[in-house]
Amino acid sequence: MMDPLDAIRRDPPNVWFTSFYGFDPGSWGYLGFSTPGMRNGFISRSEPGVLVVVYGTGSAPADELGKVIGVLQCSHRVNNAKAFMSPTAWSTKEQSSEGAGKWNLGVKATRAWRVAPESRPSIAEFANETYTPGRGQAIGSQGMPLTAGEALKLLDLDLQEVQVFGENPVIEAAFGKGTEVLSPSKPGPVSQTPFMVRESEGPKSLYVLALDGDTSAFLGRDAAGQKIIKVGVSKTPLGRCDDHNRALPRGAFSWRLLRSNDQIGAEPFPNSRSAIEGETEMKRVLVAHGQSLGGEFFLADDQAVETAWESGMNKANEWANL
């Protein structure tokens, strides 16, 4: 798949733009279309690795409206949107009046970057050659290619890589100029740049973390004996637990590794795809039998956690054996 810098510098550039009602690739891991013709038009006029600049419109937060808020890198892999979204996001979309039945023809995103809130340019300024208010509906429904001059402006944006649903985890990321953040990592046993932050491909384990402490106090309401948990995929679940604890101030709360492949004596799954399918299944069960707290976080009782873990492991094993 085309490297981001190659996409920008190609003649013509392999860079498009569109509008979203917000930017949450960790839950919406795709670019959506409402008709086959619109999706086919995008695929036929772009190449795998295409960059898609996103600006806020519609019900996006007020400080995102008309501003460039993120960038997706997309493959040409297609499916129904449900396959490319978290179960929570899918449920929310289908229950909303503005999203039900819309944008269901998906093109999978593989990487994503958000634009620093303090330096988001207006779309009229960024795409000054291509954007006009009269084109807003067409841009939002089917996207539009950017000119070479507009595409080069990506190199000056302040970007931070973020998680994409269904892709390898992003461990941590710093903001940096597009010229740095979008560059390939340098060769060598240790990354030479702080911006290449995704876990490498290879064996992966499922994990479940539980937040120890007074859950009711943390939530500000009665937790009814349930736990705050996080589910995920990692090469090193204990390391991920440590990462989350380092993000907490020292006090009455801490994350504990509740389940992982190693903890139950199971080998890691051979690749990220099988583990990610298991993670998605755990999220699906927890949406049905617990309560989403956003992203990979849930409120659930012991039985729901155990059911989610067993179901996730079964799903991941199915994929590992294909």
In the chain, the domains with their CATH numbers are 4-181 (3.10.590), 205-320 (no CATH)
pLDDT (tens digit per residue) in 5-34: 999 999 999 999 999 999 999 999 999 999
Taking alpha carbons only, the member of 158, 165, 64, 58 closest to residue 110 is 165
| Terminal Cα-to-Cα distance of the chain (whole angstroms) | 24
Compute the Cα dihedral for 17, 130, 7, 190 and give only its sign.
negative
Between β-strands 15-20 and 50-56, what pairing exists: parallel, antiparallel or unpaired?
Answer: parallel
Peptide bond into 194 cis (omega under 30): no
| Phi-psi sector, 278: left (phi>0), alpha (psi -120 to 50), beta | alpha
> What pLDDT sits at residue 186?
44
- Supply the pLDDT for residue 199: 67
Residue 195, pLDDT score:
40
Distances (CA, A) of 140 to 146, 158, 280: 14, 23, 28
Contact predicate 312/279, CB 8 Å: yes
All residues at 6 or more sequence positions from 254 whose CB lies less than 8 Å from its CB, including other chains = 211, 212, 213, 245, 248
pLDDT of residue 109: 98
- Rounded to two decimals, the pTM is 0.75
Amino acid, res. 236: T
Return the amino acid letter for 259.
R
Lookup result for tokens 């461990």: 171
Low-confidence ranges of the chain (pLDDT < 50): 186-196
Which residue, among 87, 89, 54, has the nearest Cα to 68 in the 3D structure?
Answer: 54
* Beta strands across the sheet bearing 205-212: 254-260, 205-212, 227-234, 297-300, 291-292
Say which amino acid occupies 314. Answer: N
The H or E element that residue 51 is part of is strand 50-56
Residue 307's pLDDT is 97
C-alpha R_g of the chain = 20
Whole-angstrom distance, CA of residue 111 vs CA of residue 197: 11
Report the C-alpha gap between 137 and 148 in whole angstroms.
23
Q: Encoding tokens for residue 36?
A: 């086959």
| CA–CA dist 28, 54 (Å, integer) | 13
* Model pLDDT, residue 235: 85
Residue 31 backbone phi and psi in degrees, to 5: -105, 125
Note the helical H segments in 48-194.
Answer: 87-95, 123-126, 136-142, 148-152, 178-181
